[in-house]
Structures are given as C-alpha cells and as structure tokens.
Structure 1
Amino acid sequence: MKRLLLPAVLATILAAGCAQNSTPAPYGSCATQPSKPQAVRTSAAPELKAKAQAAADDAGKPASCIVAAPLFRPDFRAGVRFDETQRMRFSFSKEAVSEGAPEQIPDFSASIIVKGDSISASLSALNTPFWRISATPSTTAESRHPLLSSRFRAKGLIRDLTFMYWPVDSIRASLAKTCPDCTLSVSGSTRTLARSGQRVLESSTRGGATVLRNYPEGYELSIEPESAR
C-alpha cells in the first residue's frame, strides 16, 4: 500500500513545477521589455514639452530590472570535502510559485563527492532517487526523476555549491573570467554577489546550516549535515 501511495505523494509535492518541460526562460537585463513610448503632442513651452516626454518615457520602462545570476565554476580542486551526507532544503518565493515553481518540496538527502577536478551529487527523497549530477570544469551530466521540476538546474546547483563553500579567492578568479560586471563582497560569514549593481546571490551561515538565496530565480537553498537533525 505504501508503494502505491508514493507516486501520488511525489506528484502532489512536485507537480507544480512539472508543467514546464524545458529550462525556465533566463532573465534578461530587465524582467520585462519596455513598450515603445508614444510621442507626446503638446503646444506648451519647450521645457514643459521635454518634461512631458520624459514622463512618457519613464511610464514605458519596467518597474525593476533583474539580471541573472551568472553560471561560474571555480577550480574544483580548491574546494571542500563533504565527509557525510547532507540535507538539502529548497523553497521558492510566492512570486516564483505563481509562475510555476513547486510550492511543497521534500527535504533531499544529498551525497556530494569532490574528487580532483570533478564533483558528483546524488539527491534522494522519500526513499526515491531524484537527481544525479556529475560535473567537470567544462561538462555537466545528469539523470533526473520525471517529477523533478525543471526549476532545478544542474549547472545552477553546481554554481550554488561552489559559491557557498569554495574559497573566496577561487570564486573571484572564476568571476574575473566569466562575469566582469560581477562584484563579490564578504562580511563575516555572509557572501554577496552583485551583478551590474544588483544583488543576485547571497550566502550566509545560520547555526549549522549554510543558506543561499538566489534573488532573480526566487529560491532559497539550505544545506547542513544530516547528523544535525
């Protein structure tokens, strides 16, 4: 009976993100493209006409611009070693859920292995394998459960892991090559990555967990050893 119920439970938890079979559309320089403003016709004085045109231009611009978090890969050999199984928790913002991201996500049990210039990760939940990833500096391979939302991206998870745990100098060296408009700042246990002046990633330590926020994609990832339960 338990085996029969498992697929239904998984579908209920993760189906919200399964309507999208392709990778979510990446964010451009702005969340929405501004419509072409219409010329303002007025017989007023030139300075008033200029102000009216500027107001029309502003009305055609999006309220906010969102830049994507870059996909970078620091030297894997400079990374940490995960000596035990980790617990991963993902949660999406209300805005992301309204756009198709899953609202209820089970905790994942994750085995992460860093060996030489490669990383592999195996994630399971509810006694079911969900996601296997292997990555080198230039390649990414994955196998995934059909119910795993397309919001979960292999290259994104590798990026998140390295941003959370790799040495800052190694991350900066990678960003210098892949994202010249990025700025990485560190304050205590908090790392903040800004792109074109906008915050895109932030990682901090809370108790025994390391927590990352991806602002453009609207999710939070928390990782801690399973022994911390």
Structure 2
Amino acid sequence: MHSPLIARRSLAALLLALSLTGCSVLRRESEEAGKPAQPPQKKRPAGAKKRPAKPDGKTEALPHAPVDDGALAPVFRPSIADAPKLTLDQQIRIRFHEKALRSGAPKSVTVLRALVVSDPGLLRAAFTAMGMNVWAITWNQKGVEESRSPRLPAEVKADRFIRDFAFAFWPAESVKKSIPSELDLIVTNRGDAEIRALIRNQAPILRAVITRTLITIMNAPEGYTLDIEAAR
C-alpha cells in the first residue's frame, strides 16, 4: 500500500500531545457534567426507518437513518497486533451525501485535526476542532477506550473511525480476515492509487482510494465521504 505523504513529528512529542489531549477532553467533560441538563432531544419523525439492531440485539445508535435500505456497513476491527507503525498528523473531513442529509445527518462537520500514533498492539488518536480538544481514542489488546466532548457530533463514532482508519491503513490480509464471511475485499491498483472495495451483493459498500497525498473513503449505506490528508 502506498504510504500517505505526512507531516512527521517525533514520537515522543506526539505521545505527549495525545496524553495531554485525552486529559483535556476528560476535564472538559467533567465540567460539562456540572452544567444544567440540556432539553430532551426531538423524537424520531413519524415514518422514519427503524434503526437496525446490533448483533447483540441492542439498537444501533446512528442518529440519522441509513440511506441504503436500512443496511449499515458492518463494523469490523482487524487485529490490533497487525497495526502498522505510523506517526501521523492529519486533517479529517467528513461530508454527508444528499440522501443522508435528508435522513437527518448534519449539513456540515468541522474539520478535525488528528494526531495518530500506531504500533503493533496499540493505536492512539487525539482530535482537535477549531483549537479545542474534542476526542481521544486508545485501542490496545484490552479493547477500545474513548473520551469525547459533548460538542462532537453523535455521527462521529469510535468504532467507525477505527473501522475506516484500519480499512485504509492495515495490511489488506488483516482486513480480509476481520470482515464478515458474506463480504469480499477487492484490492486493485490504478496508476499511483491503491483502491480497496468491500463488496456486498456485487456492490461496493465501503471504498477507499489511497494515494501518497490523500485517502478518500466512501461509505454508501451510511451516506458519507471521509477525506484524510496531511495537516497543513
């Protein structure tokens, strides 16, 4: 797989930034907890599609309805032991498609700045938006832990970030082992780009176009496009 062009920082500096960001998010959430409760959220409009159930029987908490006949892209997680050795400083842009907007997705999501460090057995990511710490994720052999600001849109979820990030950065063989058996992973090369497509019923439901300067991930069922590029 082609390695994205990244603005590298020293591993020690990034780890320090990740640690400080996680603490800042937790502190902000503690302050938010002391504020008066917010008004209850609006009920789902009449006629809206029922949210699909998770494998454990719990309702999938996706704020907007899926745009592909109620079928979400599966949430899978390759082995953390297969994590590549990366030190990244990135900008992440999320754009919801027209059908998702009509289903209740936000019209815009603030660009996220992400500091990501991964190594076999560990992924740590810290996110800022408009200069504020909003999210921190740690994934290791014990599982996934996150701390998040109430300001972060509910559509932005740790399990989906990990799925999308691993789909693009993990070795293809590791991704293939982690997907449900009814899906196929097709990897092709077109010029300088590597293209990964997760196929269900002969249609791509998750597609990543990977170049040295930009990674674009398209999720048809959930109606969004994710752009990952080096921070400027």
What is the TM-score with the length of structure 1 in the denominator? 0.66
Distance 1:104 1:134, change over 3 A: same
Distance 1:98 1:82 in 2: 37
Q: Which has the higher contact order (CA 8 A, sep 6+)?
A: 2
The reply to whether residue 221 of structure 1 matches residue 226 of structure 2 is yes
Q: How does 1:35-114 map to 2 (within 5 A)?
A: 65=69, 67-114=71-118
**Is the Cα contact below 8 Å between 1:20 and 1:150 reproduced in 2?**
no
Distance 1:147 1:193, change over 3 A: same
Superposition deviation, residue 67 in structure 1: 3.0
Superposition deviation, residue 207 in structure 1: 5.7
Q: Secondary structure at the match of 2:160?
A: helix
Superposition deviation, residue 195 in structure 1: 2.3
Percent identical residues: 28
Distance 1:215 1:78, change over 3 A: same
Give the unaligned 5+ runs of structure 1. Answer: 1-17, 29-63
Q: Give the structure 1 partner of residue 51 of structure 2.
A: 25
Distance 1:198 1:84, change over 3 A: closer
Question: Aligned letter for 1:183?
Answer: D
Deviations 1:29-59 (A, max 9, x none): xxxxxxxxxxxxxxxxxxxxxxxxxxxxxxx
**Is the Cα contact below 8 Å between 2:136 and 2:148 reproduced in 1?**
yes
What is the TM-score with the length of structure 2 in the denominator? 0.66
Q: Give the structure 1 partner of residue 195 of structure 2.
A: 190
- Bigger proportion of residues as helix: 1
**Is the Cα contact below 8 Å between 2:85 and 2:120 reproduced in 1?**
no
Give the unaligned 5+ runs of structure 2. Answer: 1-39, 44-49, 55-67
How many residue pairs get aligned? The number is 171
Q: Secondary structure at the match of 1:187?
A: strand
Deviations 1:119-154 (A, max 9, x none): 121110110011111223562221111121111111
Q: Give the structure 1 partner of residue 36 of structure 2.
A: none
**Is the Cα contact below 8 Å between 1:201 and 1:213 reproduced in 2?**
yes
Distance 2:160 2:223 in 1: 13
**Is the Cα contact below 8 Å between 1:204 and 1:211 reproduced in 2?**
yes
Superposition deviation, residue 66 in structure 1: 5.3
After superposition, the CA RMSD in angstroms is 2.7
Distance 1:199 1:20, change over 3 A: farther
Q: Secondary structure at the match of 2:86?
A: coil
Superposition deviation, residue 27 in structure 1: 7.8
